[in-house]
Amino acid sequence: MLEDLPAEILYLIACHLPTVNALVQLSRTSKRLHATIAADNWRIFRAFVQKQFPGAKVPGFWREAAQSLTSRSRALDKHAVVGRFVFPPQATRIGSEKAIRGDRPTLGYRPALDTYETWNGSGWNDRREVLAWGAADELFLRVKQTGSKSHEKWIIFSDLDHISSVDDICGLHILNPNHPAYEEGTEHLIFARARGELHHLAISIDEPSHEYKQVFETYGLGIERTDLSNGEEPILAAHMNNGTIALYNTASTSSRVSEFARIQIDPAKKARNRYSKFLSSDLLAIGTGRIDDAIAISSITNQRISVDREISLNLVDYDRLDSSTAIKSDVNAIAPLSPTGQVFLAGWGDRGVRLHDLRSNAEHEQTYRDVTDDNPIYCIQPLTHNRFIVGSGGEALVKIFDLRMDRGYSYLDAKPSMRSFARASPKSKTTTATINTLDHQLQNLNLNLTSNGTTHPRKEMSIYLSQPAPTTYHAPRPQHHRPYRGAIYTMASPSPSSPTLYTGVADGVVRLDFVATDDLLGPDRAWHAAPLSLNLASTQHSRRADRILDLSGYERPDPANSSAVVRLRTQQAFREVSAEDAEEERATGWDRRWTRLKDFSSWRRAL
């Protein structure tokens, strides 16, 4: 019998179960199995998390971590998302009063965005999250504590009296607690203004004040964007408006820091450096805008910079609709998928996102494409080890892509909740039916199943963030305004285990929380909603700037089927979700907030 096996073998079996639900059922079959699984403060869930969620760095709350990560994966499978604008109810202003603008920009500001979170309590929800973004000339900073001692504080910084568009913040990075400059109660930030200022700023939180720590020398050159590597001594890269990239050591103790290296374009080649991204602490990928070396990957040390690999546009499956037109070799977005930087995603000029593996001789491994959208790719953000999000350059589109192959692991059958597991009353003995159930679950490790066993085809979705931001340069908008049709400029997530994605749109930041409606309405709703500060009563009729949005989107057709019907879906308010919607969720796999499609509800055809 299963319960007669040694504890070590039971532990190995449990570690290979595909879902939390399988662990729950196994623990309920006998007292001995329950004791084995619950031993060492639920140590078995550490193995489960590390196996099923590689890359998710979490503290030692393994049982709660399994619940939270499983919930996020179920939500992504169901395309369950809650959208809200991030807007300060009140904030402390430091530096100076609101500046006088000397020009009339026709477009809203483009948020430069960064965030991180740390655990600082005795439970999974005891977290401190820091969020900052550049709002034109101003810097918005939010420090939020969740859990047993929850609180929130907003600070707005600007020390300019007269401004124009050249004073806009075009790069922003928060130094995390591992940085040598970090101080308790103070947030250290590096920010750049388009006119060429590049500063290290410290903001005290408890008694709001600011202090400039360092100036990074730019020698009068304007700045287009910046990036910061990870590691104990991060490297700062600044794209100058003359096409060069300056590299700085942020661990320097000098008040004025000069670059230790500068990447210069070959004068014989006219293209400018278009984009760059740190893949790791010592690998930098540059989208050059050229053909032969469209992406150049360089190793960076304090002594030298050496090119390790060049990826040619001619050797990837580049999509050219018209052979007579010039090739757009731009690479506008890059995102690493592994800590070593050997595997990364790149958004190319043909609107395709390609997976590159530097360990392979191939120029790329896979191409992901949305055939319904012909806008350029502005940003890429990995979300879990098997999905990534793309921000489009137009139509306010956020696209969710699945990295898994056709038959990948799914967490849709992850119910009941972990708290039910903790309260479970084990049966007296193992039954043949239970063993058969476990065998069936192991056989279906790679199937996409709901909790009732129904198989659903994999689906990928694009979501519109078409609601306009609640402010225009921090002034209230009129009640009647047009939907937003612009770009998704930037994206950031607090941590690899977070269900939250912050997206920067013109004049604002939209928060997307991937959490399933049945979790928010179920018996553990407070546990799920509290860290997200979700008030389900906040509907589209509320005047609050951070009200819950009713989003819309569509399931993308297979790229090989360009004639497929594309059908628009819309979300409904939580209070409008009915029992029929719950049945529809079980039948289709879509979260119950997405309204049911009626016959002949096609919206448009893909071109």
Q: Domain limits of the chain?
A: 88-245, 265-316+327-343+350-361, 370-405+458-470+481-606
Cis check: omega of the bond before 416, within 30 degrees of 0: yes
Rounded CA separation 580/105 (Å): 48
Rounded CA separation 195/224 (Å): 9
Nearest to 457 by CA among 517, 408, 416, 403: 408
Q: Which residue has the higher pLDDT, 34 or 542?
A: 34
470: region left, alpha or beta (phi > 0 left; psi from -120 to 50 alpha): alpha
Q: Can you give the pLDDT at residue 323? A: 65
Average pLDDT over every residue of 549-574: 85
Question: Measured in Å, how far apart are the chain's first and last C-alpha atoms?
Answer: 59
Tell the residue number behind the tokens 């546990």, with chain if given. Answer: 527
Work out whether strand 151-158 and strand 305-311 pair parallel, antiparallel, or are unpaired.
unpaired
**Weakest-pLDDT range from 68-72, 78-82, 101-105, 326-330:** 326-330
Rounded CA separation 479/499 (Å): 31
Written as one letter, the residue type at 338 is: S
Model confidence at 553, pLDDT cuts 50, 70, 90, reads: very high
**Weakest-pLDDT range from 22-36, 46-60, 407-421, 524-538:** 407-421
Tell the residue number behind the tokens 């499609």, with chain if given. Answer: 597
Q: Can you give the pLDDT at residue 185? A: 92
Mind listing the pLDDT tens digit for each residue in 124-137?
999 999 999 999 99
